[in-house]
């Protein structure tokens, strides 16, 4: 019965001071009950001045700036590390490029006399899982290149010929360049002598030795019927 006729209300004194909790009595008077609330006599003295408000605002702004810059700096470091993880390219050395050319029985491209330059896309899917196409066949520091090479891991093949070598390599040449001359996809990707290999170019059946045309998209699927398919 003590609280009968009273209602809890919040009085917002000013924007910069906290709310005061009180009770409205039946006679419309208000019992202020909040312990921390300053007595009304002292209220004017304790009311923040324009100067102190400005100080508080500056301090808050500085704290916020610090918090946000720290947060975003850390986010940046996080994402940069992620980006560098995924885009870090392990470029071959000139020696590795020359060895690959020898293994694949290709020729060293005369990069100062390029005759043709086309691009094709290669995707290799083993048991349903996409294989990363590595950066191989070119050393940009010395411009030593095989006539088929990659500059990134996107699957884009750069196929070039020069004025003295007209042979444009195919996907099988690329597989050999990549795998020390080996071109048995079952052994390379399935580690099994028996597997099923299907090749398509622009969604039509093809073979690995098909000559590429600019913009071709080749998909090579390697599957082992007896083993589980990844999804
Ligand atoms: Zn290119």
Last residue of a domain, one of 86, 109, 142: 86
Tokens of 71: 């947060």
Higher-scoring residue by pLDDT: 65, 153: 153
| Phi, psi of 63, deg, nearest 5 | -65, -45
Higher-scoring residue by pLDDT: 143, 73: 143
Q: How confident is the model at residue 76 (pLDDT cuts 50, 70, 90)?
A: very low
Residues 110 and 219 in one domain: yes
Q: What mean pLDDT is predicted for residues 78-84?
A: 39
Tokens of 179: 């795998």
CA of 126 to the centre of ligand 1 (A): 26
Can you give the pLDDT at residue 38?
44
- Output the pTM of the full model: 0.62
Can you give the pLDDT at residue 226?
72
CA of 217 to the centre of ligand 1 (A): 15
Interval 18-29: pLDDT, tens: 444 444 445 454
Residues 65 and 99 in one domain: no
Task: Give dist(CA 84, CA 143) in Å, integer.
Answer: 24
Higher-scoring residue by pLDDT: 78, 215: 215
CA of 106 to the centre of ligand 1 (A): 18
Sheet with 7-11, strands from edge to edge, namely: 7-11, 20-24, 30-32
Whether 82 shows a pLDDT value over 80: the answer reads: no
CA of 136 to the centre of ligand 1 (A): 13
Which range marks the domain in which residue 68 is found? Answer: 48-86
CA of 28 to the centre of ligand 1 (A): 85
CA of 117 to the centre of ligand 1 (A): 6
Tokens of 214: 């600019």
Residues 54 and 134 in one domain: no
Can you give the pLDDT at residue 225?
76
Residues 146 and 130 in one domain: yes
| Phi, psi of 169, deg, nearest 5 | -65, 160
Is 229 inside a domain boundary? no
Interval 177-200: pLDDT, tens: 999 999 999 999 988 878 999 999
Q: What mean pLDDT is predicted for residues 169-178?
A: 98
Query: How many structural domains compose the chain?
Result: 3
Residues 69 and 164 in one domain: no
Is 231 inside a domain boundary? no
Q: How confident is the model at residue 213 (pLDDT cuts 50, 70, 90)?
A: very high
- Lowest mean pLDDT of 77-91, 107-121, 130-144, 208-222, name the range: 77-91
Q: How confident is the model at residue 90 (pLDDT cuts 50, 70, 90)?
A: confident
Q: How far is CA 145 from the centre of its chain?
A: 28
Can you give the pLDDT at residue 63?
59
Q: What mean pLDDT is predicted for residues 106-113?
A: 97
Residues 127 and 99 in one domain: yes
Whether 11 shows a pLDDT value over 90: the answer reads: no
Is 2 inside a domain boundary? no
Q: What mean pLDDT is predicted for residues 54-65?
A: 63
Instruction: Check: CB of residue 226 under 8 Å from CB of residue 130.
Output: no
Residues 104 and 161 in one domain: yes
Residues 161 and 216 in one domain: yes
Is 142 inside a domain boundary? yes
Which residue carries 């921390």 as its tokens?
Answer: 36
DSSP for 77-104 reads HHHHHHHHHHH---PPPHHHHHHHHHHT
Residues 196 and 107 in one domain: yes
Best CA proximity match to 94, nearest among 106, 83, 108, 80: 108
Q: What mean pLDDT is predicted for residues 199-212?
A: 98
CA of 178 to the centre of ligand 1 (A): 18
Is 219 inside a domain boundary? yes
CA of 148 to the centre of ligand 1 (A): 9
Tokens of 55: 């100080």
Is 77 inside a domain boundary? yes
Best CA proximity match to 3, nearest among 37, 27, 26, 34: 26
């Amino acid at each position: 019965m003590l609280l009968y006729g009273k209602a809890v209300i919040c009085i917002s004194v000013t924007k910069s001071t906290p709310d005061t909790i009180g009770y409205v009595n039946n006679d419309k008077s208000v019992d202020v009950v909040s312990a921390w609330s300053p007595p009304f006599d002292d209220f004017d003295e304790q009311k923040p001045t324009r100067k102190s408000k400005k100080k508080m605002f500056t301090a808050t702004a500085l704290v916020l700036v610090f918090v946000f810059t720290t947060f975003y700096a850390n986010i940046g470091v996080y994402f940069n590390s992620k980006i560098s993880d995924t885009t870090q390219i392990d470029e071959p050395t000139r020696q590795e490029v020359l060895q690959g050319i020898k293994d694949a029985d290709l020729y060293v491209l005369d990069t100062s006399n390029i005759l043709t330059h086309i691009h094709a896309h290669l995707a290799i899917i083993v048991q349903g899982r996409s294989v990363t196409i590595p950066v191989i066949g070119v050393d940009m520091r010395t411009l030593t290149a095989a006539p088929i090479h990659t500059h990134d891991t996107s699957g884009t093949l750069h196929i070039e010929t020069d004025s003295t070598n007209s042979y444009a390599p195919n996907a099988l040449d690329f597989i050999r360049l990549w795998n020390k001359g080996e071109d048995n996809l079952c052994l390379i990707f399935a580690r099994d002598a028996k597997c099923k290999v299907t090749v398509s170019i622009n969604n039509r059946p093809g073979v690995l030795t098909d000559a590429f045309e600019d913009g071709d998209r080749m998909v090579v699927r390697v599957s082992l019927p007896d083993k589980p398919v990844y999804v």
